[in-house]
Chain A
Amino acid sequence: MKVETKKFLAKTGNEAAAYAMKQINPDVVAAYPITPSSEIVMIFSKYVADGEVDTEFIPVESEHSAISVCIGASASGARVMTATSSQGLALMHEILYIASFLRLPIVMVVGNRALSGPLNIHCDHSDTMGSRDSGWIQMYCENANEVYHTIINAVKISERANLPSMVMMDGFIVTHGMEKVFVLEDEDVRNFIGKRKPLYSLLDVEKPITLGSLTLFDYYFEHKRNQLEGVLKSKKIIDEVFEEYSNRFGINIPSFVEEYNMEGAEVVVIVMSSAAGTFKEAVDILKDKGEKVGVLRLKIMRPFPYEILREKLSNVKVVGVMDRAETFSSMGGPLSIEVKAALYPLSKRPLVQNFIFGLGGREFGIEDAINVFEILKGIKKRNAVSEEFIYIGLRE
């Protein structure tokens, strides 16, 4: 059944997320407000107050309890969602790993915000990069429209893969920026996601289960390998769900990556989230001048689509990797390190230059994007990368 998605609304990223949650009508939502994603919970609680959803809404006393409530509810067979940012995600850190190990399909919306210190409320990716190894699926959206659709897909992906998902958007830039959001009818959303069929439930009291046992050196290793198996299998599920959605609703929502002017491109920038839009603009300007430049937007950081990167980048001469987080490795940002690792086995591989940008909400404009392409063109000409990483937009 194909439905054409023509209806659109003007919504900020937070509003789009809350609207998707309303249509999903989860069994339980537990959340603690934090800038810049507070609005998601505020709008959702109004839906609860107005009876537009019949979700059990739990306004907890901390993010640590938000994710703990989510685990308890999800392990009881409920469809569960939450939202947070930055310090809130950091406070959840301990519990994130337990949610993924218990294979609970919790969906969390994250408005990306810089981690303290110093205290800052604006966008960068240090918060979710800090939890990229927690066993959650991580999807970074470019704009409010993509946030809306990705949340709906995330519910189905998580429940099919039995893995929790984070759906990201850039704090303030997307959370508070109003855009055109194509929306589905409530019924279409509910038909698409269907009913949750849990693997197990604590409430199935006739079949009692023990969850979260102490597991020592004799089984822990096997459990982690099994968990990895679930992550490996999720790649196919992610592609299938996004494809099914795009076909059914006549709207193209990318899964792992989005290509922009990649055909014949010699210089390519890999970028996540809203800055991809800036780079696409820069590409439009440069391609009119006859330059062979493209953008590969990485949407899904976990599981990492290394196969796609190898395929798409093997014939590219220079790759610029944009990191919106400083993780103090001393060899550049986390995305660049993983891109380099992904490309290393190729016999013919591009030169890779890392850029760090936009920390703590520092502006990143089209002129900055063009500057990045200029630097990459220089690398192509010299056929050598001179610096391990380059800070863009930093005041010296």
Chain B
Amino acid sequence: MKRIISLKELAERTAGLASGHRACAGCSFPSIIRMVLGSSDYPVVVSNATGCLEVVSTIYPYSSWPCSWIHVAFENAAAVISGVESAYKALKRRGEIPQDKKIVFIAIGGDGGTYDIGLQALSGALERGHDFLYLLYDNQAYMNTGIQRSSATPFGASTTTSPAGKYLFGKVQDRKEIIEIVAAHRIPYVAQASISHWGDLIKKLRKAYEIEGPKFLSVIAPCVIGWGYKESETVEIARLAVETCFWPLYEIEKGVYRVNYKPKEKLPVKAWLLKQERFSHLNGREDLIEEIQKRVDEKWEKLLRLDGLKVF
């Protein structure tokens, strides 16, 4: 296990996206990427799915990436990184790369490129056991193309393809449980984190970089435009998602569940929901808020039951 690095040390590492990228004011992923790259003691190669992050960080002829980076398409980030990692193995075996040269391989996708269109490529790469980290930044809709619903969009959220109207209250289906789907591949490390709890996020990243095989890290990625809140509130929105247990911090390491953070006082989910424009139509719809609270409670209680258990 690698030592923990301090926030000061992290801040001194210049590994984040270079300034000048076109992410919206208050966007959460520049902070996520800074922690992802800054937490690694090894050189990193990134395969990025099409999406907000890719689009804002590499408008030709500029690039904000300090490391080797490739984007091919929307649905294949996991397959592309499989190829990079396979080339690394083959070239190392043939003596083209020194034996002691460690490189960290990271595929990055939003929820569209992970839960939906890229799920097959992700599953294939996990099953084949490539040595890579899949980083999901989950902003819970297709933000890049204009806030359309995805299978990560929460129940009740209004998006441009699940709009709240006179008859419908936003998305009628629940979110897909991506962590459970990924964990069903029985990979060595699956975790969920948030930038609001940066110490936990860094710890998970540094752990992932030392584990061989496929790793999956899901990070909540509040979106100013798609969720509808003030630019200055990004970290607070992420924090409330954790404190309400909508977004629990947990990990499944070698099959063992561990809840990493249990709020002293679990806040009602309403405190998180009504800070966001996408749920504003629920104001006064106590029945729906109750339904959402019920679902959050069920998932949280299930997680607490699993805490400490070895499931595979």
Residues of A within 8 A of B103 (CB): 203, 205
Is residue B58 contacting chain A, with contact meaning CB distance below 8 A? yes
Which one, B73-81, B164-172, B215-223, B292-300, is touching chain A?
Answer: B73-81
Pairwise interchain contact A69-B80, C-beta atoms closer than 8 A: yes
Residues of B within 8 A of A30 (CB): 82-83, 86
Residues of B within 8 A of A68 (CB): 72-73, 76, 79-80, 82-83, 121
Pairwise interchain contact B68-A213, C-beta atoms closer than 8 A: no
Pairwise interchain contact B86-A73, C-beta atoms closer than 8 A: yes
Give 1 or 0 for each of A60-84: 1 = CB within 8 Å of chain B CB. 1110110011111111111010000
Pairwise interchain contact A213-B73, C-beta atoms closer than 8 A: no
In the complex, besides A205-B43, A214-B60, 6 extra interface pairs with C-beta distance below 8 angstroms are A65-B76, A65-B125, A73-B87, A75-B70, A76-B84, A205-B68
The minimal Cβ–Cβ distance linking A223 to chain B, given in whole angstroms, is: 8
Pairwise interchain contact B88-A76, C-beta atoms closer than 8 A: yes
Which one, B91-99, B190-198, B228-236, B254-262, is touching chain A?
Answer: B91-99
The minimal Cβ–Cβ distance linking A23 to chain B, given in whole angstroms, is: 16
The minimal Cβ–Cβ distance linking B100 to chain A, given in whole angstroms, is: 14
Pairwise interchain contact A55-B90, C-beta atoms closer than 8 A: yes
Residues of A within 8 A of B86 (CB): 28, 30, 56, 58, 69, 72-73, 78
Closest A residue by C-beta to B77: A68
With most chain A CB atoms within 10 A of its CB, the pick from B45, B81, B87, B93 is: B87
Is residue B127 contacting chain A, with contact meaning CB distance below 8 A? yes
Asked whether A64 and B123 contact (CB < 8 A) given A72-B83, A75-B70, the answer is no
The minimal Cβ–Cβ distance linking B233 to chain A, given in whole angstroms, is: 28
Pairwise interchain contact A54-B93, C-beta atoms closer than 8 A: yes
Give 1 or 0 for each of B124-138: 1 = CB within 8 Å of chain A CB. 110110000000000
Pairwise interchain contact A214-B54, C-beta atoms closer than 8 A: yes
From 46 to 63 in chain A, residues with beta carbon under 8 angstroms from any chain B beta carbon are 54-56, 58-62
The minimal Cβ–Cβ distance linking B192 to chain A, given in whole angstroms, is: 25
Chain A's interface size range is 35 or more
**B binding-site residues for A, Cβ under 8 Å:** 43-45, 47, 54-55, 58-61, 63, 65-73, 75-76, 79-91, 93-94, 96-97, 103, 120-121, 123-125, 127-128
**A binding-site residues for B, Cβ under 8 Å:** 27-28, 30, 54-56, 58-62, 64-65, 68-78, 80, 94-95, 98, 202-206, 208-216, 219
Pairwise interchain contact A64-B69, C-beta atoms closer than 8 A: no
Pairwise interchain contact B60-A213, C-beta atoms closer than 8 A: yes
Asked whether A72 and B70 contact (CB < 8 A) given A27-B87, A28-B87, A58-B82, the answer is yes
With most chain A CB atoms within 10 A of its CB, the pick from B65, B84, B93 is: B84
Pairwise interchain contact A64-B58, C-beta atoms closer than 8 A: no
Pairwise interchain contact A61-B87, C-beta atoms closer than 8 A: no
Closest B residue by C-beta to A75: B70
Bound form: Cα–Cα A95–B80 in Å: 11
Asked whether A64 and B71 contact (CB < 8 A) given A72-B84, A78-B87, A214-B58, the answer is no
Cross-chain pair count, CB within 8 angstroms: 167
Pairwise interchain contact A28-B83, C-beta atoms closer than 8 A: yes
Pairwise interchain contact A65-B68, C-beta atoms closer than 8 A: no
Pairwise interchain contact A212-B45, C-beta atoms closer than 8 A: no
Pairwise interchain contact A61-B88, C-beta atoms closer than 8 A: no
Asked whether A212 and B120 contact (CB < 8 A) given A30-B86, A54-B94, A64-B75, the answer is no
Bound form: Cα–Cα A203–B103 in Å: 8
The minimal Cβ–Cβ distance linking B302 to chain A, given in whole angstroms, is: 30
The minimal Cβ–Cβ distance linking A13 to chain B, given in whole angstroms, is: 27
Bound form: Cα–Cα A8–B121 in Å: 41
Bound form: Cα–Cα A85–B62 in Å: 38
Bound form: Cα–Cα A60–B70 in Å: 20
The minimal Cβ–Cβ distance linking B45 to chain A, given in whole angstroms, is: 5
From A65, A204, A208, A219, B79 is in contact (CB under 8 Å) with A65
Pairwise interchain contact B69-A208, C-beta atoms closer than 8 A: yes
The minimal Cβ–Cβ distance linking B124 to chain A, given in whole angstroms, is: 3
Closest B residue by C-beta to A220: B60
Residues of B within 8 A of A58 (CB): 82-83, 86, 128
The minimal Cβ–Cβ distance linking B144 to chain A, given in whole angstroms, is: 11
The minimal Cβ–Cβ distance linking B79 to chain A, given in whole angstroms, is: 4
What are 22 sample pairs from A and B whose C-beta atoms fall under 8 A apart?
A: A56-B86, A56-B87, A60-B128, A68-B80, A68-B82, A68-B83, A70-B83, A72-B72, A72-B85, A73-B83, A77-B96, A202-B69, A203-B45, A203-B84, A203-B91, A203-B103, A205-B67, A208-B69, A212-B58, A212-B72, A213-B59, A215-B60
